[in-house]
Amino acid sequence: MKRKCFLFIIFAISFFLLQMNCIKAEEPFLKVSTLLKDPFNYNGKSIKFKGEVIGEPLGRGNNRWINVLDNEGNAIGVWLSEDFIKNINYYGKYNIQGDIVEVEGIFHSICKEHGGDTDIHANTFKILEKGHLIKEQIKIQKIYIILLEGVFIIIVLIFFRIKKYYESLSK
């Protein structure tokens, strides 16, 4: 009986921990649209934000700017320490998928330190997924279209040249 009770407790604890893990995995990261929908509610509060680092780091000094793009296609400026920035591998741009990062920090709907900017001052910064290069694949259909257009243009040019020739003959 004791053994059964023990197994049951182990099972219950495991199940509970699993649930906890699931809850943690589903922990909602705030989106830019959510922050901007109710800016005064989130202003000055600590929030978690997840997204792709895009562009390049900007500004000077010990703290600099990066811009982070959420999965709805909206980006926000994150003000963070140069030490965090050093860890970033890829900044998203054409043919580059930037690092996916998690930022925890204070949201400012109108930042007094940065001339009224809407930003996040990062306290913690984590790289969740390293970015990578994307290989460009040429679409062959585009080459067919170009060839078709080229043939059309040659036909048109020849046609008008012949027309001009006969017109000059008739004159």
Which of 149, 158, 162, 165 is close enough to bind another protein by CB under 8 A? 149
Applying CB under 8 A, does 118 fall inside the site for another protein? Answer: yes
Q: Which residue shows structure tokens 């900007």? A: 58
Applying CB under 8 A, does 80 fall inside the site for another protein? Answer: no
Which of 4, 24, 25, 136 is close enough to bind another protein by CB under 8 A? 136
Applying CB under 8 A, does 48 fall inside the site for another protein? Answer: no
Number of neighbouring beta carbons within 10 Å of residue 66 = 27
Applying CB under 8 A, does 74 fall inside the site for another protein? Answer: yes
Cβ neighbours of residue 35 closer than 8 Å, sequence gap 6 or more: 42, 47, 76, 107, 109, 118
Which of 46, 56, 123, 158 is close enough to bind another protein by CB under 8 A? 56
**Site size for another protein (CB under 8 A):** 51
- Closest contact distance (angstroms) between CB of 44 and another protein is 14
Number of neighbouring beta carbons within 10 Å of residue 77 = 19
- Closest contact distance (angstroms) between CB of 130 and another protein is 17
Q: Which residue shows structure tokens 């925890």? A: 104
C-alpha span between 170 and 23 (Å, rounded): 87
What secondary structure does DSSP assign to 26-83, as a single string?
TPPPBPHHHHHHSHHHHTT-EEEEEEEEEEEEES-SSEEEEEEE-TTS-EEEEEEEHH
Helices (H) and strands (E) in the chain, counts: 5, 7
Applying CB under 8 A, does 153 fall inside the site for another protein? Answer: yes
Applying CB under 8 A, does 86 fall inside the site for another protein? Answer: no
Where along the sequence are the contacts to another protein (CB under 8 A)? 32-33, 36-39, 54-60, 64-65, 67, 69, 73-77, 92-96, 109-110, 112, 114-119, 136-139, 142-143, 145-146, 149-150, 152-153, 156-157, 160
